[in-house]
């Protein structure tokens, strides 16, 4: 070995600045145990695809291979097939959206649409407005493009319009360039909240008057439990909103098929960016989904998912009431997530090793903030574990919380310093936990 030593990565100094934070972390490593059967994982946002009867898809796959294999196995259009785009219009019509299939761009999951939109609009240092908290996968994309994410407060009715006005004014007063507002209006990830209709109208009006584009991410909108979500923001404004949709939650994420519906000028650039990134979205997946939407009772399947997730939501809310009655949490009317608030002295990220010992996994709130917030929050997912497992998991979580409170009480009179909430890098959990 030389006197210079080795750092095991000869390219260490060659990486782009935007890769800062792309590293193994202690927290990320702890998520490895979430896959063990002994562990109740309340961390992952994985749809329960086992509730999808295989025969619903096997016929579609057979028909694609027998009648359309040459096209389905070939490169396709960078915009997606015309047939699936027509079907996507029908899906979006369920949430009040009218428009043209020509303005739909099919992508590799809506995650890629998020990446493409950010690539089109964000230069390093540009400001992206996002709810507080916001989707960890979006924060990872914004960070990769070196955006300055400014969080905007939410309450039980979703994003707070007045907070949006104040944030816009504050950012602009210091010369910041706001590129878009990223929002998840329905059954928010991670907060579980839904933006009211009146606020949708008000927020669109604010953005229109301030010249700010809205990026509406709606993967959960059709998974309502007790009453349908209000119509999409895109149903009100077809010029100022880019709408992102996905088959990941209403069918299966393994297809990696999502889409963007964009004003036509933006759509043109999205198609070119899509071709640049992947040449074309997954052809085979698009053909199979098209067959499925043609032939299967896909609306009935969505109802099946809704019933299943409603039961799991109920199990989680009931277990929280029983085991952690002194804490507070959101009560989602759809989607996958509950947002739990801890006592001030607790730190959800620091508590994770204790949770691993107790065989329960969750996602610390810090994953959903770009500014170091979220230490007093936990995202709990109810989509994947059975109701019985959810009860077990919440009971274990109560043991974790009580154990950590006991520990902190022990040191409370000994000058225990509060943890710094200084700005930090986004600690991205593995993809199966988003």
Partner 1 sequence: MNSSTLRTVTVLAGGISHERDVSLRSGRRVLDSLHANGLTAELRDPDASLLGHLAESRPDVVWPALHGASGEDGALRGLLEALDVPYVGSTASAARLAWDKPTAKELVRRAGVRTPRSITLSHDAFRELGAASVLAALTEEHPVPLVVKPARGGSAQGVTVVDDAGALPRAMVDAYTYCDDVLVEQKIVGTEVAVGVIDTGDGPLALPAVEIVPRHGVYGFEARYNAGETTFYTPARLDADATQAAARAAVVAHETLGLRHLSRVDLIVDAAGTAWFLEVNVLPGLTETSLVPMALDAAGYELGMVYAALAEKAVRDHAAE
Task: Summarize as ranges the residues that interact with partner 1 (CB under 8 A).
Answer: 1, 3, 5-9, 11-12, 23-26, 28-33, 36-39, 350-351, 353-354, 356-357, 359, 404, 406-408, 410-417, 419
Is the Cβ of residue 236 or residue 356 nearer to partner 1 in the bound state?
A: 356
Is the Cβ of residue 5 or residue 300 nearer to partner 1 in the bound state?
A: 5
Q: How far is the CB of 415 from partner 1 (least distance, A)?
A: 6
Is the Cβ of residue 373 or residue 430 nearer to partner 1 in the bound state?
A: 430
Residue 205: exposed, middle, or buried by beta-carbon count in 10 A (0-12, 13-18, 19+)? middle
Is the Cβ of residue 344 or residue 417 nearer to partner 1 in the bound state?
A: 417
Of 232, 239, 263, 299, whose CA–CA distance to 96 is shortest? 232
Is the Cβ of residue 4 or residue 66 nearer to partner 1 in the bound state?
A: 4
N- to C-terminal Cα distance for the chain?
Answer: 42
Q: How far is the CB of 339 from partner 1 (least distance, A)?
A: 23
Cβ-Cβ contacts under 8 Å for 171 (sequence gap 6 or more): 127, 129, 150, 178
Q: How far is the CB of 347 from partner 1 (least distance, A)?
A: 9
Residue 264: other Cβ atoms inside 10 A: 12
Is the Cβ of residue 201 or residue 405 nearer to partner 1 in the bound state?
A: 405
Q: How far is the CB of 407 from partner 1 (least distance, A)?
A: 5
Query: CB–CB of 194/201 below 8 Å?
Result: no
Query: CB–CB of 109/141 below 8 Å?
Result: no
Q: How far is the CB of 72 from partner 1 (least distance, A)?
A: 35
Q: How far is the CB of 315 from partner 1 (least distance, A)?
A: 24
Q: How far is the CB of 432 from partner 1 (least distance, A)?
A: 13
Query: Residues 397-433, buried b or exposed e (16+ Cβ, 10 A)?
Result: bbbbbeebbeebeeeeeeeeeeeeeeebebbbbeeeb
Chain centre to alpha carbon of residue 317: 21
Residue 316: other Cβ atoms inside 10 A: 26
d(CA 371, CA 426): 8
d(CA 265, CA 239): 10
Q: How far is the CB of 37 from partner 1 (least distance, A)?
A: 7
d(CA 106, CA 85): 7
Is the Cβ of residue 29 or residue 198 nearer to partner 1 in the bound state?
A: 29
Is the Cβ of residue 61 or residue 395 nearer to partner 1 in the bound state?
A: 395
d(CA 92, CA 293): 13
d(CA 16, CA 27): 24
């Amino acid at each position: 070995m030389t006197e210079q030593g080795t750092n095991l990565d000869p390219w260490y100094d060659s990486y782009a600045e935007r890769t800062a934070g792309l590293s193994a972390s202690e927290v990320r490593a702890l998520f490895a145990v979430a896959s063990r059967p002994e562990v109740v994982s309340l961390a992952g946002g994985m749809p329960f695809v086992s509730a999808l009867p295989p025969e619903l898809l096997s016929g579609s796959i057979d028909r694609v291979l027998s009648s359309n294999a040459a096209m389905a196995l070939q490169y396709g259009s960078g915009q997606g097939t015309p047939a699936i785009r027509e079907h996507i219009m029908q899906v979006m019509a369920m949430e009040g959206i009218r428009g043209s299939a020509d303005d739909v761009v099919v992508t590799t999951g809506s995650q890629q649409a998020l990446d493409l939109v950010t690539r089109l609009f964000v230069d390093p240092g540009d400001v992206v407005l996002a709810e507080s908290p916001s989707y960890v996968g979006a924060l990872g994309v914004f960070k990769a493009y070196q955006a300055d994410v400014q969080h905007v407060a939410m309450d039980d009715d979703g994003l707070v319009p007045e907070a949006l006005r104040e944030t816009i004014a504050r950012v602009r007063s210091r010369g910041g360039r706001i590129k878009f507002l990223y929002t998840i209006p329905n059954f928010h990830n991670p907060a579980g909240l839904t933006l009211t209709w009146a606020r949708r109208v008000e927020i669109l009006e604010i953005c229109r008057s301030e010249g700010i584009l809205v990026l509406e991410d709606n993967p959960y909108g059709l998974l309502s439990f007790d009453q349908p979500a209000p119509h999409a923001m895109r149903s009100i404004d077809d010029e100022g909103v880019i709408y992102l949709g996905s088959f990941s939650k209403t069918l299966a994420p393994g297809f990696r098929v999502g889409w963007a519906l964009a004003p036509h000028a933006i759509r043109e650039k999205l198609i070119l960016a899509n071709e640049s990134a992947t040449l074309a979205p997954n052809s085979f997946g698009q053909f199979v989904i098209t067959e499925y939407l043609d032939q299967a009772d896909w609306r009935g399947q969505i109802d099946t998912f809704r019933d299943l997730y409603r039961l799991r939501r109920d199990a989680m809310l009931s277990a929280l009431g029983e085991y952690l009655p002194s804490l507070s949490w959101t009560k989602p009317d759809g989607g996958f997530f509950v947002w739990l608030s801890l006592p001030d002295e607790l730190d959800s990220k620091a508590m994770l090793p204790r949770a691993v010992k107790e065989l329960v996994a969750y996602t610390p709130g810090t994953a959903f903030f770009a500014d170091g917030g979220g230490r007093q929050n936990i995202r709990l997912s109810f989509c994947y574990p059975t109701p019985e497992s959810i009860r077990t998991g919440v009971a274990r979580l109560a043991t974790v919380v009580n154990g950590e409170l006991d520990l902190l009480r022990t040191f409370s009179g000994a000058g225990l310093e509060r943890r710094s909430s200084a700005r930090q890098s986004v600690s991205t959990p593995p993809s199966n936990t988003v």
